[in-house]
Structure 1
Amino acid sequence: MLSDAELMSVKDTVTKSMISTCSRSEAIDACLKCSQSAMQLLRRKKIRRDILMQYLAKKSVAISPGAEKVKLIKQIIDFWNKGSQSTSNNVSSSIALTSINQLSIQFTEWFYTSWNNLSTFQSEHFFPDCQLTLIHENNRRILGAYYVCDVLRSYVANKELRFCPNIQSNKVEESKHGLVLIQIHGTIHQRNTCIGIFDQSFGLVRDPNHSNNYLIKFCFLNMQTQQEQQQQQQQQILSINQSIPTYLVDMMQNYDQTIQHQIDSTDYIIEDPDDDNDNDEND
């Protein structure tokens, strides 16, 4: 690698001694700014072939001992380009991940505010063929934006329910085709009382006919309320009361068999009431 003296000498050659520097980083920066390209900088005579080979070896890039300087320069530039592309891809992935996470938060805040207030909760936010699946109603399905919106509105307008999402527990994924799946969990409230929990999933797709905004393609909703749990418990109690446990049935059958056996094995005489009358007449 270049020593401090060699680096300063390269800097003076590249800048024609027009820029003074006090450190290696300043000298490198001056060389880059005053060079038209990386190829032009590395082709300088003061950037020797052995220095280029040392650099590639340090970066674990396979090299041929007899490679010419031009080939070594191309290998270095290719290495830099790959590193730049990898960094760019990582940044893009990070931006994409941040983007869909931000979408998840924004959508959740907007949807439940709109749903709970019903002021802006309209069917135009759903695709015309949107499908809603109500898991808590034996997977009942509703098809069509108007009907989906109407059913969801009824929970708030008719049953006076309010839904409070726990945004921190959101899960979001995006397919390579652009479908965004958001999973949301939260609590259900009614008249200032928390009465249950809910799980809801949305499939979002961009619509070019609506300024490329996201619309709801499908939705799954599962609700568990205290009232439903009590009804299930009552049904279980009723079912228990209506059916006799098997062990009681077995005991009753065994009892019947025992009594019948005793009757069959006993010698007895049935006295006819008329016999007494006959004896009295003979006397």
Structure 2
Amino acid sequence: MNKLEQIGAQELLSMLSDEELMSVKDTVTKSMIPANTRSEAVDACLKCSQSAMQLLRRKKIRRDILMQYLARKSISVSAGTDKVRLVKQIIEYWNNGSSSISTSLSSPSDLSSINQLSHQFTEWFYTSWNNLTTFTPDHFFPDCQLTLVHENQRRISAAYYVCETLRSYITSQDLHFYPNIQSNKAEESKHGLVLIQVHGTIHQRGTCIGIFDQSFGLVRDPTHSNNYLIKFSFLNMQTQQAQQTALLSTNQPTPTYLIDILQNYDQTIQQQIDSTDYIIDEDDDDDDE
């Protein structure tokens, strides 16, 4: 499998229950490779499958799961479509329609709009987070900050600790986060800070247990080929049914603290520009003897 197929397969396998995933792993590996966690099972499935077609045609990866996956990607499919055709559609999507999933994000010149960047980032981030294979501190600025709104605004600083905190939700609590990309909101400040708001559902061992909303601040980093890196993130998780309507509403205005961040970022950049003394070295006088 190529890299795009591996990333897509990781996301699809995460939709299986623990029992189904371990069963697929045993079939693919002929029960020769043990796995203690879901991430280990997914990794074994990818390493021991000769192709994406071979993996997706396994009996435990049922037709209804394939249809659910396509529905999540807003890909229309006839109710009577057989499994072989569904598999081909998914593999074609991974290789052609899913080029936005990567371990880095393109600069704005490669994007038609800020909304496209929003969708591209969201699909990449949550696929990477849920499966952890490519989820590393390299995607965060060294001074990145994560604010956990649901933990009384607890703040984590530095790329390594932010990454490890987010990883712990997957490794320790076996949670998986599924964004509703169509409800995304995105804004960009005049100095290039991109603010993205995401809403979605939280799942644990195949059961939906709550909802979340998460905001990201992205800034381009010239040292990473001008790719976007995460400057900050706010994460709020809720499991109370009564709060779902307010949290997931696409008509909610942008929180004032996020608007303030956009404005403060531009003001800080402008202050840095105004306070900098630019010195241009003059060439030596060639006539000096």
More helix per residue: 1 or 2?
Answer: 1
TM range (shorter): 0.3 to 0.5
Compute the TM-score of the two structures, normalised by the length of structure 2: 0.45
Larger relative contact order, structure 1 or 2 (CA cutoff 8 Å, min sep 6): 2
Compute the TM-score of the two structures, normalised by the length of structure 1: 0.46
Quick check: which has more Rg, 1 or 2? 1
